[in-house]
């Protein structure tokens, strides 16, 4: 996310950048919520909802705010419609609030105005900002063992703090390696992504001999507008962004990773810093790139070649940070509204709903039994790319704490990447500066982090 270049979210062009764009809103979020901590005083009213005549006799109304429109929005609307038809007590409605940056600003204003949606779809980092402001409901009283155990443990666990769930996984993703199968075949390379970053460099000498639109092809493109892909690569080189709240982005594997990528661009001439991440790949100008599983459907639409997907390359070890979005409920909402909201979340968390959402969007199936649904099994057999991210889940983990909790951590990190990848500045000095900024941010949140999270992660 360098940019704060946040395009409207759609199923056709979805990246982790747009999914987690709200991280940049952190500086706005926390101060704005200062008066909303501890649940909103006398309780929150409900945001406006217009109930169709068909459902006017329903006892409860549930409003879900999301940032999914276009094809993903249609899938969500379809699932909500199925919920409405499955019972006669609750009317649910999904309301699109713009991209995640806009939605975060709107829900912040809603909290201050004490009228909130019943369910909020938060990105993986954004919900933790709201958690530190003590606005989110502990869902332990709703999520029983049967419910929690139905999820992939590392996806469900991403929303749990001190054994209490505050955020229920829904639109979850991991980065994967996309590659141009047609280009690989033309270059005489195996029909798979590179197993290691060193192998990608080796292949680069072959890929750069190919041409597209009259230009030499590059082996890959790198993002200077998000920290997620970089964090994945750092893990693969044996580094971290932080150990707990101890910032280590300027040490060991993190520096080695950044230097490898810098040399891949400026010394080897095999990579480029993307101005519009994914565009070069979709236009056949690069052979590979990392992006979210949630970009799969959009990549199929945009690319004019056969798309392949592989697990992320390793170097020293495996590194697969999870991303995406999930559902939270606010404190201060009347009990009957919370219960009705939970019924909607349960429905959307069923194997059938999870499979439908995954097939329609490219996101991971967050519920284990989703992969056994007949339609999902057929799709997996027809398109092996859909199984890559699921196979990676065994190696997936939650974001490093500083990236997850420190406001504006992602813009600070990718601001550094722009200097390294764009200006050819040596990585150590740049990452030393990044580390200083992250450490300053860490000190600001440490009191609340220690109080609410502590060593529990």
**pLDDT (tens digit, 9 = 90+) per residue, 316-363?**
999 899 999 999 999 999 999 999 999 999 999 999 999 999 999 889
Which of 227, 141, 273, 262 has the alpha carbon at shortest distance from 399?
Answer: 227
Which of 99, 33, 19 has the alpha carbon at shortest distance from 331?
Answer: 33
> pLDDT value at position 42?
56
Residue range 117-125: mean pLDDT, rounded: 93
The Cα–Cα gap between 176 and 291 comes to 6
Instruction: Read off the pTM.
Output: 0.87
Tokens linked to 135: 């606005």
pLDDT band at 99 (very low <50, low <70, confident <90, very high): confident
Q: What is the mean pLDDT of the chain?
A: 90
CA distances from 352 to 19, 161, 181, 359, 428 (A): 23, 27, 32, 11, 48
Tokens linked to 148: 């929690």
Whether 178 contacts 196, CB under 8 Å: no
Do 16-173+323-382 and 175-321+400-456 fold alike per CATH?
A: yes
Q: How many CA atoms lie within 13 A of 239 on its CB side?
A: 21
C-beta atoms surrounding 257 within 10 Å: 27
Query: Helix crossing, 335-348 with 70-86: angle to 10°?
Result: 110
- Listed by start position, the domains of the chain span 16-173+323-382, 175-321+400-456
DSSP secondary structure letters along 202-217: HHHHHHTTSEETTEEP
H-run or E-run covering 356: helix 351-361
pLDDT at 396 over 50: yes
pLDDT band at 455 (very low <50, low <70, confident <90, very high): low
pLDDT band at 456 (very low <50, low <70, confident <90, very high): low
Residue range 128-156: mean pLDDT, rounded: 96
pLDDT at 58 over 80: yes
Superfamily per CATH, domain 175-321+400-456: Periplasmic binding protein-like II (3.40.190.10)
16-173+323-382: what CATH class? Answer: alpha beta
Helices (H) and strands (E) in the chain, counts: 21, 20
Q: How many CA atoms lie within 13 A of 329 on its CB side?
A: 29
Within its chain, how far is the Cα of 143 from the centroid? 23
> pLDDT value at position 33?
56
Helical H segments across 44-173, by residue range: 70-86, 100-113, 126-132, 145-149, 153-156
Residue range 7-30: mean pLDDT, rounded: 35
> pLDDT value at position 125?
79
> pLDDT value at position 245?
96
Give pLDDT tens digits for 20-45. 333 333 333 444 454 454 444 458 99
% the chain with pLDDT above 70 = 90
Give pLDDT tens digits for 397-431. 999 999 999 988 999 999 999 999 999 999 999 99
């Amino acid at each position: 996310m360098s940019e704060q270049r946040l395009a409207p979210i759609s199923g056709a062009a979805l990246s982790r950048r747009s999914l987690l764009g709200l991280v940049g809103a952190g500086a706005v979020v926390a101060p704005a919520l200062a008066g909303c901590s501890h649940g909103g005083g006398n309780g929150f009213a409900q945001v406006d909802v217009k109930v169709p005549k068909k459902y006017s006799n329903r006892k409860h109304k549930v409003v879900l705010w999301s940032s999914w429109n276009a094809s993903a929005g249609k899938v969500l609307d379809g699932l909500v419609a199925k919920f409405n038809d499955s019972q006669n007590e609750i009317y649910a409605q999904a309301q699109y609030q713009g991209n995640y940056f806009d939605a975060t600003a709107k829900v912040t204003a809603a909290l201050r105005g004490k009228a909130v949606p019943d369910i909020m779809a938060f990105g993986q980092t954004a919900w933790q900002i709201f958690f530190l402001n003590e606005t989110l409901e502990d869902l332990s009283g709703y999520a029983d063992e049967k419910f929690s155990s139905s999820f992939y443990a590392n996806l469900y666990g991403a929303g749990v703090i001190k054994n209490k769930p505050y955020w229920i996984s829904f639109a979850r993703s991991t980065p994967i390696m996309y590659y141009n199968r047609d280009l690989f075949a033309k270059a005489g390379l195996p029909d798979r992504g590179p197993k290691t970053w060193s192998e990608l460099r080796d292949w680069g000498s072959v890929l750069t001999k190919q041409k597209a639109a009259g230009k030499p092809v590059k082996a890959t493109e790198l993002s200077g507008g998000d920290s997620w892909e970089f964090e994945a690569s750092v893990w693969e080189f044996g580094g971290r962004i932080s150990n707990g709240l101890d910032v280590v982005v300027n040490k060991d594997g993190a520096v080695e990773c950044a230097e490898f990528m810098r040399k891949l661009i400026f010394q080897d001439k095999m990579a480029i810093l993307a101005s519009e991440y994914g565009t070069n790949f979709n236009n056949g100008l690069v052979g590979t790139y990392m992006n979210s599983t949630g970009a799969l459907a959009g990549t199929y639409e945009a690319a004019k070649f056969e798309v392949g997907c592989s697990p992320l390359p390793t170097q020293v070890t495996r590194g697969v940070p999870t991303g995406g979005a999930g559902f939270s409920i606010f404190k201060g909402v009347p009990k009957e509204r919370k219960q009705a909201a939970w019924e909607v979340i349960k429905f959307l968390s069923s194997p059938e709903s999870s499979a439908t959402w995954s097939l329609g969007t490219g996101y991971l199936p967050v519920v284990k039994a989703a992969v056994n649904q007949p339609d999902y099994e057929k799709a997996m057999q027809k398109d092996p790319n859909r199984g890559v991210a699921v196979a990676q889940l065994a190696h997936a983990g939650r974001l490093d704490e500083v990236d997850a909790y420190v406001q504006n951590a992602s813009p600070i990190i990718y601001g550094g990447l722009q200097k390294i990848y764009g200006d050819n500045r040596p990585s150590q000095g740049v990452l030393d500066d990044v580390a200083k900024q992250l450490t300053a941010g860490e000190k600001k949140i440490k009191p609340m982090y220690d109080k609410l999270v502590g060593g529990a992660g």
